[in-house]
Chains A and B, each alone.
Chain A
Amino acid sequence: MKSRHKKLLVIVLGVVGLGIAAALILNAFQSNLVFFFSPSDVAAGKAPTNRAFRIGGLVEDGSVKREGDGLTTRFIVTDTAKTIPVIYTGILPDLFKEGKGVVAEGRIGEDGLFNASQVLAKHDENYMPPEAAHALEQAAKAQQTVVPPQ
């Protein structure tokens, strides 16, 4: 084998080794790299209890209630399996909407109420004009009312 081919082999093996090492390290730190916990994670006791953490999921339809002071909002975060009630005082981001993704940072109380200090909107990777979104909505509704063929 020529020396320059040997060198190339060493470089390739080095990069592969580095990749494996990185994969193992990232795997070991898996839980620390998670930006938020889902309501199911919280129910399973995966979330820390003694410090602030983030929960993420969808804002349950019809759950958003504004308090009299105009700044405090109550809503429910769901991952369609479990839910967590949230209370938050402050300005909500533009994309905060019922049925859309949300990430809230705060602490969970004894009563199970999540007291959020910050609320972030998490949106999805779909981009389309409003007409197309409307058409999709109509199609979904039509499908719900139609009896599936036997």
Chain B
Amino acid sequence: MNLYTFSSPVNFYQLSGKLIPWFMGGAVVLGLLGLYIGFFVAPTDFQQSEAYRIIFIHVPAAWMGMFIYLVMAFWGAIGLAFNTRMSFMMARALAPTGALFTFVALWTGALWGKPMWGAWWVWDARLTSTLILLFLYIGIMALWSSIDDVKRGDRAGALLTLIGAINVPIIYFSVQWWNTLHQGASISLTKAPSMAATMLVGMLVMAFAAWFYSIAVAFIRVRGIILERERQTEWVKTILEND
């Protein structure tokens, strides 16, 4: 048994079934812990006072929205190059969660922007490129569902995902490349975080909760896709008869 064992739908179906409760449980525990740290332990901010607490939702959601897109692009590239069935299914399973997180990031940002900046929305580079990310997610999902032939749909969606992937670095670096209203990154790989330790811990715990949640729901969705696509096979028939 090696890693490739799980590129077969039947094995992955069984593995993901065992893992889902663990990831979902982890997401609930980490989410509750993160919210507790964020809303009860973390201190108020010196200039935004309580309103800054948006970061415990906003930042993990924005990270997840960008990261899931990159993972989809990765699976799309693998699928196009090696013609592996599971990669396309993973890409399809991830898209709704990525869109959801991007939407949450935009929505919470607007709620915060009104009292802090003085505007719900501005067309600066960071906000605009994030809106494009949401449209890309919606466009890819629409493309998939508009093509009846599964294999053709997979390929078309993967291609669009790959083309849109250029948007992710643009979102990430927009605050460095241009004058934007959105502030720069508080956390990056190249310098020490410019935020108090408790705030940082709360945000990272929430980010891990978002990871666990994303993995769990992607697995749930991919199991559905596997059953649908393999419905002609013996093993799916056996499973369905036993249930």
Contact = CB atoms under 8 A, between A and B. Distances in A.
Contacts of A113: none
B2 interface: no
Contacts of A133: 46-47
B46 A129 contact: yes
Interface in A101-146: 103, 118-134
A128 B49 CA distance: 10
Interface string A1-33: 000110110011011001100100010001001
A125 B117 contact: no
B77 A34 contact: no
B121 to A, nearest CB: 11
Contacts of A22: 166, 170
Interface centre among B44, B55, B81 (most CB of A within 10 A): B81
Contact of A95 (B44, B48, B162, B166): B48
20 contacts: A4-B82, A7-B82, A8-B81, A11-B80, A14-B162, A15-B162, A19-B166, A22-B166, A33-B178, A35-B122, A35-B124, A94-B115, A120-B118, A122-B117, A124-B183, A125-B195, A127-B196, A132-B46, A132-B196, A134-B46
B181 A103 contact: yes
Given A103-B181, A128-B46, A11 B115 contact: no
Interface of B: 43-48, 51-52, 55, 77, 80-83, 115-119, 122-125, 162-163, 165-166, 170, 177-181, 183-186, 194-196, 199
A5 to B, nearest CB: 8
Contacts, number: 123
A26 B170 contact: yes
B42 to A, nearest CB: 9
A36 B179 CA distance: 6
A30 B179 CA distance: 10
A92 interface: yes
Given A11-B77, A127-B55, A129-B43, A121 B163 contact: no
A53 to B, nearest CB: 12
Contacts of B166: 15, 18-19, 22
Q: Which 6 A-B pairs have the closest CB atoms?
A: A93-B118, A133-B46, A129-B43, A8-B81, A127-B195, A35-B124
A43 to B, nearest CB: 16
B178 A34 contact: yes
Contacts of B124: 35
